[in-house]
Amino acid sequence: MNTIPPVVIVTGAASNIGLACARRFAADHTVILADIIDAGVEAARLPQARAFKADVSDFAQCQALVAEAQKYGRLDSLVHCAAITKPACSIEEMSIDEWEQVIRINLTGAFYLAKACIPAMSEAGGSMVLFTSRAAKTGFAALGSNAGKTKAHYCASKAGVISLVKSLATELAGRSIRVNSVAPGPVAGTMIPKEQQDAVAAKVPLGRVGTPEEMAEAAYFLCSPAAGFITGHVLDVNGGTLMD
């Protein structure tokens, strides 16, 4: 009888949505926590959690992260939350370096990590959840503020993640690897300064911003057997700010 707990890699696990995902999965998984900061993160104190320092924009480090997970005998799931953004600016104002850094971490990093995980999941199948954003579908990252400043680098990177998810889901279906995405809307503690939360919440049909824990529940569901017939899907968790 197989008694090894399922193993999941959670990136961006030091804070916010990544930390919430680590907490949710730690209840019944061995969680390999990845972030670019040191291993002394809060999530590392969770039961069955192991911290690993990794930069997802470096393919060799992604491979090392997967090798760390394989020490536990299996890799069942990937929950990829790691991403960056930059202060709002227009495309005209945006520097080439800013564009390339955001694309490299948010989109190329998702590609690197998924690519590194495929061989480890191929034998028994598995599940990947690559976080995207409501901004991927709208082309702007804020609800009505910063008019004319869309954060095009962030929006484009997250739109690319959606297309990557669909490509991966198509290619990997025959290996029983499911690939999906969660697209958060406005979430407390991420891109919304605390002093702006009430103003943002007023624009949300449900009347509030989301929580990291709600995003984590969505990711947990997509990795669970309950979602066994779901692949290539983008699950919108946005309080009704985008309905498509």
The Cβ of residue 102 has, within 10 Å, a number of other Cβ atoms equal to: 23
Residue 244 lies in a domain: no
Q: What are phi and psi of 134, to 5 degrees?
A: -55, -35
Residue 1 lies in a domain: no
Residue 242 lies in a domain: no
Q: What is the pTM of this model?
A: 0.94
CATH of the domain at 183: 3.40.50.720
Which tens digit of pLDDT belongs to each residue from 213-241?
Answer: 999 999 999 999 999 999 999 999 999 99
Residue 122 lies in a domain: yes
In angstroms, the CA 87 to CA 78 distance is 28
User: Annotated catalytic residue: which of 72, 112, 154, 220?
Assistant: 154
Averaged pLDDT for residues 106-124: 95
Residue 222, classed as helix, strand or coil, is helix
Residue range of the domain that includes 233: 7-237
Q: What are phi and psi of 24, to 5 degrees?
A: -65, -45
Residue 21 lies in a domain: yes
Given a contact cutoff of 8 angstroms between Cβ atoms, the answer to whether 164 and 107 are in contact is: yes
220 catalytic per annotation: no
Residue 131, classed as helix, strand or coil, is coil
Given a contact cutoff of 8 angstroms between Cβ atoms, the answer to whether 36 and 84 are in contact is: no
Residue 97 lies in a domain: yes
Which tens digit of pLDDT belongs to each residue from 202-214?
Answer: 999 999 999 999 9
In angstroms, the CA 80 to CA 48 distance is 18
pLDDT at 35: 86
Domains held by the chain: number: 1
Which tens digit of pLDDT belongs to each residue from 127-145?
Answer: 999 999 999 999 998 775 5
Angle between helices 152-172 and 109-121 (to 10 degrees): 20
Residue 2 lies in a domain: no
Averaged pLDDT for residues 158-171: 98
Across the beta sheet with 126-130, the strand order is: 49-53, 30-35, 7-11, 77-80, 126-130, 177-184, 234-237
Which residues lie closer than 8 Å to 205 by C-beta, 6 or more apart? 239, 240, 241
